[in-house]
Amino acid sequence: MNFHDRLLGTIPFIAAIFVIAGIVHIVSVLAMPAVAPQDALTRLAVVAPQGEGVVLLPPASPGREIMPYEDPSVALGFCRFDLSQGLYRVRTNIDGEHFIALSFHTRSGRVFYATTDRSALRGKIDVAIVNTGQLEALESNDPEDQPAPELRLLAPAPTGFILVRALAERPNELPRAEARVTAVTCAPERPPQS
Amino acid sequence: MLAFLKGGLAALIGIALGLAVTFVTLERGFGFGAVQAGPWTAWPRVGASDIDPYARAVLSRTGEIPLAAAQGIAFYARNDESGAPLSGSCDYVISGAVPASRFWTLTLTDPNGRLLENAAHRYAFTSAEVLRRGDNSFAIAVASGARPGNWLPSETGRRFVLVLKLYDAIASASPSGLVGATTPRITRGRCW
């Protein structure tokens, strides 16, 4: 076997390595949200393993952050939803002056809806997170000639969380920002029986 | 027998190479869709529902919860204007204008997004509390030792990252609005 033949013989070997490497790379990137041990909801659950309603996170300070790149000027809270318990309702009144933002996430952190007080209607944010069946149940109970009283969000996954952010413009305003976070009500709701 | 061994070896090397490529790409940040504005980089699609698989993998690994596109946008700076990494062994001045938004905050973190302990308990500035000059412009000094005026403490010898978050930013709704946005300058001063 001369040098030329040997070189030709290694080509399938090298090609196999690249094909396998490509497949492994794609599969590992796609599988990461399913296998990562520290996804967003897991980190949040450390603060409150159980419970309904909004959970206030401790203020960001060195060594006590729940998530990387947390904003220390923002009061944070979260609610977790599980649509197997019924649809999930999120409500808050807004004062039109202070920044409050709600973002709706799947458990890996992907955003599926977000809003701030700027886009609220009639001085309040009123959202129902639903799956297809719950949406149909709601719509079948709607009065014919009236718009739906709340925003209905079709969730891409049965579980996830809502993150509430309220901005404290100055450090001494943080307690008031936290009060605006805890004023948000989140709760599962049985669909009306028909 | 030899072919079987060769196949097994190819599989092993392939798996190792594939995982190594995944590790390197995820360590490098959010991947595609980066918008560059001066020394600052933003990933507007990370907060949108059409997030790409690489960014989703990064988020699920770090646990970071991005600002949603409808709420604002975050810019990250790891280097100064000249391209040199931000270091606690140098002084910097951040000055100039911020893209139009309702509020902004400027936070200093370590390269993993953690706040740095300091005696002044100062980790960030907000647009409301920053001291401004007569013409509404501002300058924030970043240094390990105390400075008069707006001072954001760094830690001697440690690399750091600056995070500029714009809340209710006008440009965040469309990534194209961010291209060439006027962002603050990061000028390096003295090093030792």
Instruction: Enumerate residues 6+ apart whose C-beta is below 8 A from B126.
Output: A73, A167, A168, A169, A170, B103, B104, B105
Return the structure tokens found at B54: 């690489």
Please judge whether A69 and B163 are an interchain contact, meaning their C-beta atoms are less than 8 angstroms apart.
Answer: yes
Mean predicted confidence (pLDDT) in A91-114: 86
- Displacement of CA B144 from its chain's centroid (Å): 20
What is the tens place of the pLDDT at every residue in A1-56?
577 877 777 888 888 889 999 999 999 888 887 777 777 788 888 887 776 788 88
- As assigned by CATH, the class of the B35-52+67-191 domain is mainly beta
Q: How far is A136 from chain B (nearest CA, A)?
A: 24
Same domain, A91 and A31: no
| A194 inside domain | no
Residues of chain B where predicted confidence (pLDDT) is lower than 50: none
> Both A25 and A104 in a single domain?
no
Residue A134 pLDDT: 86
Say whether residue A105 is in contact with chain B using an 8 A CB cutoff: yes
Is there a single domain that holds both residue A110 and residue A176?
yes
Q: What are the distances in angstroms from CA A123 to CA A189, B61, B64?
A: 22, 37, 30
- Shared domain check, A44 and A12: no
Tens-digit pLDDT profile for residues A104-157:
988 877 888 988 888 777 778 888 898 888 888 888 877 777 777 788 888 888
For residues B11 and A13, what is the distance between their CA atoms, to the nearest angstrom? 10
Same domain, A52 and A148: yes
Closest CA to A73 of B125, B90, B83, B158: B125
* pLDDT above 50: residue A194: no
Residue A180 belongs to a domain: yes
Q: Which of B7, B19, B124 sits opposite A24 (nearest CB)?
A: B19
- Say if A68 is an interface residue toward chain B (CB within 8 Å): yes
Residues A15 and A97 both lie in one domain: no
Examine the domain organization and report whether A20 and A74 are in the same domain.
Answer: no
Interface confidence, given as ipTM, is 0.81
Per the structure, the complete domain to which residue A6 belongs is given by: 1-35
* CB pairs A-B closer than 8 Å: 195
Which of B71, B105, B117 to substitute to test the interface with A, most A CBs within 10 Å? B71
CATH number at residue A181: 2.60.40
Q: Do A39 and B63 touch (CB under 8 A)?
A: yes
Chain B residues closer than 8 Å to A18 by CB: 14, 17
Nearest to B66 among A17, A22, A111 (CB): A111
Q: Is A105 left (phi over 0), alpha (psi -120 to 50) or beta?
A: beta
Q: Work out the end-to-end distance of chain B between its first and last CA atoms, rounded to an integer number of angstroms.
A: 62
Q: Are residues A57 and A21 in the same domain?
A: no
B131 with A95: CB under 8 angstroms? no
At residue A162 the predicted structure's pLDDT band, cuts being 50, 70 and 90, is very high
Does A22 lie in the same domain as A98?
Answer: no
Cα dihedral value A185, A78, A86, A144, nearest 10? 50
Do both A72 and A13 map to the same domain? Answer: no
Q: Are residues A31 and A45 in the same domain?
A: no
Residue A98 sits in the same domain as residue A30: no
More confident residue, A102 or A65: A102
Put simply, the chain B residues between 107 and 126 with a CB less than 8 A from any chain A CB are 107, 109, 112-117, 123-124, 126
Q: What's the CA gap between A138 and A193, in Å, rounded?
A: 10
Tokens 């973002």 belong to A103
The count of structural domains within chain A is: 2
Q: Does A169 lie at the interface with B, CB-CB under 8 angstroms? A: yes
For residue A123, what are its two tokens?
């001085």
Q: What local confidence, expressed as pLDDT, does residue B178 receive?
A: 63
Bridge partners of A82, per DSSP, are A159
Helix A3-35 crosses helix B53-62 at what angle (to 10 degrees)? Answer: 60
Locus of tokens 């019924």: A86
The encoded tokens of residue A188 equal 């599962």
Looking at the domain assignment, is residue A185 inside a domain? yes
Which of B26, B60, B110, B114 should we substitute to test contact with A (largest number of A Cβ atoms within 10 Å)? B60
Core vs surface per residue B137-160: b (16+ CB within 10 A) or e: ebbbbbbbeeeeebbbbbbeeeeb
